[in-house]
Structure 1
């Protein structure tokens, strides 16, 4: 059985121009059910993350202003969405989904969030359509509850996980790994524990060879007792914002590689979906669904 966080608030159309990218959060669980990949019993509905939990990874004054809808106009522009109560609630639900998912993963080995991967949110800022950083909060939650001592965050979205790197800069317990398009957003990068900047147009073979090299070194060096995986599918050649050239099969092999390392090193793993902006919504949804299929195959679920 999988444990998959999903909440109706994830699909809130923040504004008409952003309805399309938000639509995937409705279609992913629907497609999983339609194909029989999972059953309704595999889903759980998260609650609103409390401000005390959000404080674990974020500056208190930033969170207070966010929850009170009092962010500055400059910060709202940096985020890219109009600030609304529905949007803030959406972010709180997805954070709680990742936190609860991490607890399920500790018990069962793996858990998913049909949203999340909000890796551009830093300690005291939101950015790039990310208000709060779900996996960073969950990593801090596990660390503060003494449920994990050495956490590895694997970020394979096409964009650098700059917010996650900002939060854990210099940390000796949470290690950030970002493999991303070098000449893509954000154009001013933060420094992760390990960054692997990629040239435009990299193909499956080169990408997967690099990834395996770094995964082996990171698991050997860090020996994590928990892994978070940001599995953005904007690495696809069809992605209008991506600049890389991975095929659907290459993207699924990427996921399988991450899962095989987590399984072989007996490390629980929580997975958040991350980005995906292909012109055809089917390409986005099918690639995200393939991530679930890769996990099921790896873990014999």
Structure 2
């Protein structure tokens, strides 16, 4: 059974001015339930990740400042909103949802987190609405627990996974692949194992050709026994922050290429949803729901 991490906190704790893009975390499961793609038993509510697991990835001083709400104002501005206890709890549940999802993926082939994809958080910083790096924490958990020996992180959000790259810069057991807008946030890039910068306005065919080539390179170099996939839909032409020109159909084909590559290689994959900032919330939700629809076709 395909399992999906979701919690009411994923959608509701953000301050005024940030609530619109968070609506998707409520609307995605509602749409999937409404159309019959999933049933209630596919959803699970994660607990909060334990401190000792966080500290496999994030530096202690940074974590304690998050936990105790003492992060300096300048660092809170870098994240994009003021810290609250509810926001920290939200991040703890997102992160545990990705860890649990990784375990479910090993059982069932694939699992999802309705939120997650917090790839701008580095070992000792938060940035771009990201406090803890859910997939990095989960990858370190799998490695430390000897559940996985070699991990590939495929990051196709339009923004570089700079925090993920920094966290694993000295870790040969985790291969980081980021395909992202060259002139987009973050403006100071880190170095992934495989970075593929894209020019503004890149459209469907060119994007998919580049992805096809580099997916093969990533799998060949990583030789993974587990995959994390960050499936941000801010690559869409309708996205306010993306700067690329992909159609919804091409975004769906992108997901098909990644998920099929995992399925063909018999590799478990955990999927976190990442960004999406189109003006019409329907475009965001439908593009994300396509990822689930594909997964249920391929893995059920």
Q: Where does residue 155 of structure 1 map in the other structure? A: 155
* 1:146-191 C-alpha deviation (Å, 9 max, x unpaired): 0001000000000000000010013210010000000000001000
* 2:111 equivalent to 1:89: no
The alignment's C-alpha RMSD in Å is: 0.7
Counterpart position of 2:133: 133
CA drift of 1:58 comes to 0.5
- In structure 2, distance between residues paired with 1:96 and 1:222: 25
1:13 Cα shift? 3.7
Q: Which residue of 2 aligns with 1:168?
A: 168
Give the match for residue 33 of structure 2.
Answer: 33
Contact 1:117–1:273 (CA<8 Å) still a contact in 2? yes
Q: Structure 1 regions of 5+ residues with no counterpart?
A: none
Number of matched pairs: 300
Alpha-carbon distance in 1 for matches of 2:86, 2:145: 29
Map of 2:231 onto structure 1? 231
Q: Deviations over 1:19-67 (max 9, x none)?
A: 1011110001001101111000101110011111111111011111111
1:53 and 2:62 aligned:
no
> CA deviation digits over 1:227-263, x for unaligned, max 9?
0000000000000000000000000000000001101
Give the C-alpha shift of residue 89 in structure 1: 0.4
TM-fit CA distance, 1:73: 1.0
**Contact conserved, 1:12 with 1:87, CA < 8 A, in 2?**
no
SS in 1 for 2:257: helix
Rounded Cα–Cα distance in structure 2 between residues aligned with 1:83 and 1:221: 39
Residue matched to 1:216: 216
Q: Using the alignment, how far apart are the partners of 1:227 and 1:278 within structure 2?
A: 27
Task: Indicate whether 1:272 and 2:295 are aligned.
Answer: no
Contact 1:12–1:86, Cα closer than 8 Å, also in 2: no
Question: For the residues of structure 2 that align with 1:187 and 1:145, how far apart are their CA atoms?
Answer: 35
Q: Specify the SS of the correspondent of 1:180.
A: strand
On the 8 A contact 1:12/1:90 being kept in 2, the answer is: no
Shift, 1:108, TM fit: 1.1
Cα displacement (A) at 1:294: 1.3
Partner of 1:73: 73
Secondary structure (helix, strand or coil) at the match of 1:64 reads helix
SS in 1 for 2:227: strand
Distance in 1 separating the partners of 2:276 and 2:117: 11
Cα deviation 1:270-295 (Å, max 9, x = unaligned): 00000000000000000000000111
State which drifts further: 222-231 or 6-15: 6-15
What stretches of structure 2 of length at least 5 have no aligned partner?
none
**TM-score, normalization: structure 2?**
0.99
Q: 2 CA distance for matches of 1:12 and 1:140?
A: 28
For 1:71 and 1:218, how far apart are their aligned partners in 2?
36
